[in-house]
Structure formats: C-alpha cells, structure tokens
Homo-oligomer: A and B are copies of this chain.
C-alpha cells in the first residue's frame, strides 16, 4: 500500500474496454479505419454476409414498405443509398441498416392521418419524415446528446416492442385472409371487423399466406437443427435458414403464375413495380406539414436509434469492439437523409438482419455496400417478377418477423425483481395497444420516470446500531447490533430533495417520539447524494424543532460534494460545526456512546 500512488499508464488488455472516441477526422469518418487497411481475407466474410442479407432484405424491404402503407419499391429504394452511407459513416461494422418493422409501423401511424387517399402525398410525407428523423439524429449526434435515449428504460422498450408486434401482426391479417378491412385507429377494431367478415375470406389467399407462415416458421425454428443433425457444416446453415423469405417469395410468385390465381381467384398481388435505380427526390418544404410530422420524427429517430444501438452494442462486445453512441447517431442520421433524397422512407439498424450479417461473417462496412449493390441490381432487373408476388406472402414475412418480438421473458424477470419496473412495462404495453403507438411510448417513459420519482419520495429509512466491535453501523432490524440509549442514529437512503423533505421531517420526528429517552439524533448521510434548497430549509427548521425538544442533531458521513455546498450557507453555523462528524463511529465517540 502506498499513499496516493500516481496512476502510471501501462498498456493492457483492459485498455480496449475504454470507450474509443477516436480523434479528429477518423471519429467522424470511421470507414477510414477499415478501408485503408482492408485485408483480402475480410472479403470472404463481407461478400457472404452481403449476399445473405440482400436475400433477406429484398422481400423484407417490400414487406415493411407495405406495412408502412407505401408502394413496395420504396422499401427497396430505402435499402440502397442508406446502406452505402451507413457502411461508410456508421460506427458499427456489422449493423444491417434498412426498413424495419417498428419504424415502418410508426411511419404508417404518422402519415396515414395526414395523407388521406393520395398515394403521391403519402410518398412525399415519407420523404419528409426520413429527412426530419435524419436531421434530428444528426443534430443529436453532433451535439453529443446520444445519452437522452438512456431515459428509455429496458422495461418500457420491452413493453413497447411487444405491443407494437401485436399491432403489426393484426394490421397484416387482412392481407393474410384476403379480406378488405378499412383502416381503423385501434387494433381491436380491426380484429372485431375481421371477425365479423370471416365469411369474406379468400381461400386461395389464405392458403398462400398460411402456407408461407408455416414455411417461414419451419425454416426459423426447425431447419437449422435438422441440417446440423445431418452433418451440414455450420457455415452453410445460416445461408439456408435465412433464405426462407426468398423461398416463400419465389413459391408465391410461381403459385400465382402456375395456377393463374390472380385473375380467377382474387389473390391480391404486388403489381407494377417500376424498374430502374431510385430517383433523386427532394422532400418538399411545407412548414405546416413539417411541424405536424415533427413529434413523430422525434419518436422515430429515438426509437430507431434505440433499436440500432442496442443490437450494435451487443454484437460489438462479442468481438471486443466499441460503439461510439454519438457517431452511431451521425451514421443513422446520414443514412436517413440518404433515404429522403433517394425515394425511400425512415430506416434504422434491424435486429435480425444485423445478427445474420454478424454470424455470416461481416467484417467491415463493405458487407453493407455489397448488400446495397445487390438490391440495386434487383430494382434494375427483377421487378417484372415481383409483379405476381402475392401480398399474403409479404404479410406472412412480417407476421413471422414480429412474432419473435413479443417478449414475455423480460416481463417474467422484471416481475420477480421489481414491481415498479413491471408496472412501467405493463403500462407501456397497454398504452400502445389501447391508446396509440406513439402515445404509448410517451406514456411509458413518463410512467417510468414518475415511478422513479415516487420511489425517491418515500425513501427507505433505517435506524442503525454498531456491529460488534467494528466501526460499521447497520440496520437494527436486520443485524444483531449494539445501540446506545441516549442516541438514535438514522440512515436515510435517498438524496434529500423537495419531493421527500416532508417525509423526512415526519420520519425524524416520529423516530424521536418513539425513542423519548434520547438526547441526540445522528442523521447518517452515506446515502445522501445531494441536498437541494427545499430540503436544506427543512433541515434548518428541524435543528430548531429538535433543539426545542432537548435533542441535538448531528450529521455524519456527509459526502464531500454535499458538505461543500452546505459550507456556502449558514447551515453549519446554525447546526454547530462540532455536530458534523466524518463517520457514524466518530459521532458516537463524540456523544460518548463508543
């Protein structure tokens, strides 16, 4: 042991754990890191991953565009330029950006009330939404305000995602059943309407849809194990299992063509998709529209960032890489701007595609760029095939994707551990289902903050005593401790601020009247992290009230920063400087109890 040893900087593996913020131009242009030193052996992984993600993304992009209420090509356009931009500017090397379910749902909620029946306006509004979300993310990233997503607690995200998954699944029912359902505000209205119109089910559509669901589930949950049991090499399992959306798309198109289902059986198909690269689009400037889309753009930018950063971080930590939260905002923001100017709609990092990208071996942003190239080839040459793709197949892809988002595990864990967290999860869940998607997340955040405030307004308080011969003082109700008849020592387990000063005052006065024999009250500050001015006022009046009752107030274990502030006031003179002690034990010695 040495006194205050200087902390020498020696290199060591833990250095890698430090958040790497890079410096200068490298921080803002992360691709310089991998492009300059690109190793040939990285190309295999990047190429493989790029291809597999593209195979998933072609059907998913169209499906999520459908979910957002947009024409299918918009989903493909949103899968080209944004991916190139993110590949260059994103701080994660494996995040697969593009259309995702949650953001598509939020896009639909934002736009459909404003667009009415006009598809042209709908597409325009999606561009504005992408532009605004991108700008918000860029601004937050440059201003280094990424921390604000910390106010989205895990239970709130879990409740939001589960409920949104249900809303999404229900919204796709009409495509799966072949019923035409008007747009309702609430998912239960859609369900009720569908239940009443069961007789209108189009059986060909239902067969294609349910068949697709079965195939997708089989690929997702069964095929992997079966392939492994048959001795197929691990590296080939991922490409096979993840090609499920492509398989159902091809099967769906073939079914329509072979059985001529379009004409005869009323199976709704995607229809005309223009061939060619994404157009250059300039989002229109209309202050009124911008203002009405702003709240939703804020929600999309935060929820999208949330989803993105959590998967990026969890994948990066597996390879001991670090994610720069603010650069991540810059990368996503720029990708959204790319979407706005190339006929797309809001994008973010998708969970499932990112995991696939990672396990297929993506090493650098090049994987994303390869994916983008393949999507570009698709829109150039494959759109005629898409014409006959049944919408039921896309609906099946969406439903199976969101099925996995319903998160019961977190609720079970949280319920056991902390009822307040469980409450905020459940409140968010029902608010999303019963009020609306966007109000749901706001209500959830507010509820979680209020529950936190409620908790801090009624702090845990312990009367403590000495543990054997030690200098440690613990709760009399939990430990066999020694107490002294003329003093009561109280530890308040919370910072003192306006919401709990009244509670503190009542607690202390009650403690004194419960222990009428005491002459001294020691208030232990080990858990008091600050004292605001309302609480300081209460303490000042407590000093007088206790003094009048013949009890001396002592403070112990007051933390440095708290004491520094108190020294700026007259409180210490008022209390008497001799009544402030470094530790509870010191206070006991001074009082003559130890």
Judge whether B155 and A497 touch: CB under 8 Å: no
Judge whether B498 and A154 touch: CB under 8 Å: yes
Binding site for B on A (CB under 8 A): 1-5, 7-19, 147, 150-155, 317, 320, 325, 413-414, 416-418, 420-421, 448-449, 452-453, 455-457, 459-460, 462, 465-467, 470-472, 474-476, 478, 480-485, 493-495, 497-503, 506, 509-510, 512-517, 526-530, 532-534, 536-537, 541, 545, 548-551, 559-561, 565, 568-569, 582-583, 585, 593
Chain B residues within 8 Å of A482, by CB? 1-3
Q: Which residue, A10, A153, A416, A582, has most C-beta atoms of chain B within 10 A?
A: A153
Judge whether B18 and A529 touch: CB under 8 Å: no
* A515→B4 CA distance, assembly (Å): 13
Give the 4 A-B residue pairs with the shortest CB-CB distance, closest first.
A153-B498, A12-B516, A18-B513, A154-B534
Closest CB of chain B to A517's CB: distance in Å? Answer: 7
* A465→B2 CA distance, assembly (Å): 10
Judge whether B416 and A569 touch: CB under 8 Å: yes
Chain B residues within 8 Å of A516, by CB? 9-12, 14-15
Chain B residues within 8 Å of A10, by CB? 516-517
Given contact pairs A13-B550, A147-B503, A568 touches B416 in the complex (Cβ within 8 A): yes
Judge whether B9 and A497 touch: CB under 8 Å: no
Which residue of B8, B12, B147, B532 is within 8 Å of A421 (Cβ)?
B532
* A493→B557 CA distance, assembly (Å): 12
| Shortest Cβ distance from A594 into B: residue | B1
Chain B residues within 8 Å of A417, by CB? 533, 536, 565, 568-569
Which residue of B455, B457, B582 is within 8 Å of A472 (Cβ)?
B582
Which residue of B19, B150, B475 is within 8 Å of A501 (Cβ)?
B150
Which residue of B493, B498, B526, B568 is within 8 Å of A151 (Cβ)?
B498
Judge whether A484 and B1 touch: CB under 8 Å: yes
Judge whether B541 and A317 touch: CB under 8 Å: yes
Chain B residues within 8 Å of A550, by CB? 13-14
Judge whether A14 and B529 touch: CB under 8 Å: no
Chain B residues within 8 Å of A471, by CB? 470-472
Judge whether B420 and A509 touch: CB under 8 Å: no
Q: Which residue, A478, A497, A514, has most C-beta atoms of chain B within 10 A?
A: A497
Chain B residues within 8 Å of A151, by CB? 453, 457, 498-499
* A4→B472 CA distance, assembly (Å): 16
| Shortest Cβ distance from A463 into B: residue | B7
| Shortest Cβ distance from A322 into B: residue | B509
Given contact pairs A472-B582, A476-B4, A497 touches B452 in the complex (Cβ within 8 A): yes
Which residue of B5, B153, B466, B549 is within 8 Å of A13 (Cβ)?
B549
Closest CB of chain B to A168's CB: distance in Å? Answer: 25
Which residue of B1, B416, B528, B532 is within 8 Å of A483 (Cβ)?
B1
Judge whether B475 and A560 touch: CB under 8 Å: yes
* A501→B151 CA distance, assembly (Å): 10
Chain B residues within 8 Å of A15, by CB? 513, 516
Closest CB of chain B to A430's CB: distance in Å? Answer: 19
Q: Which residue, A17, A151, A483, A526, has most C-beta atoms of chain B within 10 A?
A: A17
Closest CB of chain B to A243's CB: distance in Å? Answer: 32
Q: Which residue, A413, A470, A516, has most C-beta atoms of chain B within 10 A?
A: A516
Judge whether A593 and B1 touch: CB under 8 Å: yes
Chain B residues within 8 Å of A413, by CB? 533, 569
Given contact pairs A420-B532, A470-B471, A485-B2, A500 touches B150 in the complex (Cβ within 8 A): yes
Judge whether B4 and A480 touch: CB under 8 Å: yes
Judge whether B529 and A494 touch: CB under 8 Å: yes
* A503→B150 CA distance, assembly (Å): 9
* A439→B390 CA distance, assembly (Å): 53
6 contacts between A and B (CB under 8 A): A1-B593, A13-B549, A17-B513, A153-B532, A414-B533, A527-B528
Judge whether B152 and A560 touch: CB under 8 Å: no
Chain B residues within 8 Å of A493, by CB? 529, 559, 561
